[in-house]
Amino acid sequence: MENAGTAEGASKAAADAVARASREDGRVAVGVDVQEVEAFAEGAEQLMAGVSLDTLVPLLRRNFTGAELEYCRAAPDCASSLAARWAAKEAVFKALSSASGGRLASAGGGAPMAGAEVVVPKGGGAPELRLTADFMATVRAAGVQVAGNGAGLSLSLSHSGNQAVAVVAVNQASS
């Protein structure tokens, strides 16, 4: 579940994500990103109006999976959920780049980010990250060994007012 709260809540969320990731030997790479919710207002309006996925604004069409978009469409605050998920995608790249010692190269601002998907477990609970096989291959080629399709990654999301934040921590002992 996403935490809607204050900056204090975001700080606690970050500390919790790092604590979860550092269970083994304490080596953790962290990525953090903050997004303005209003930047996702147009996309949220399109989703809520039922615009087909293939005609959405390019940011959503290229970077979010169908499941993520459906989750956000059903969320109480679609724009906040989109912003939090975008922050997670940015944060996961930052954390994995840090874990790789900078060897995970960016494909630039136009690179699609759907390879990192924010999923909510069946029955609810804290959101998790799922990485596609292609994204995992890129991560492994940079020297980061992440188990499965994202195990070893901890995610925390929060949003309040016009801010959404995501923290991703990589347990390097398990990578």
**What whole-number distance in Å separates Cα of residue 170 and Cα of residue 155?**
9
Backbone phi, psi, residue 74, to 5°: -85, -10
What's the order of all strands across the beta sheet hosting 163-171?
Answer: 3-4, 153-160, 163-171, 28-36
**Domains of the chain listed by start with CATH number:** 3-37+84-171 (3.90.470.20)
pLDDT in tens, 28-86: 889 999 999 999 999 999 999 998 878 888 889 889 999 999 999 999 999 999 999 99
Q: Determine the Cα angle at 35 with ends 52 and 161, to 5°.
A: 95
Strands, DSSP E only, in 125-162?
128-131, 153-160
- What is this structure's pTM? 0.81
How far is 56 from 51, CA to CA, in rounded Å?
A: 7
Alpha-carbon span 118 to 38, nearest angstrom: 20
Mind listing the pLDDT tens digit for each residue in 124-133? 888 999 998 8
Q: Which residues make Cβ contacts (< 8 Å) with residue 103, sequence separation at least 6? A: 142, 143
What is the token pair recorded at 134?
């292609």
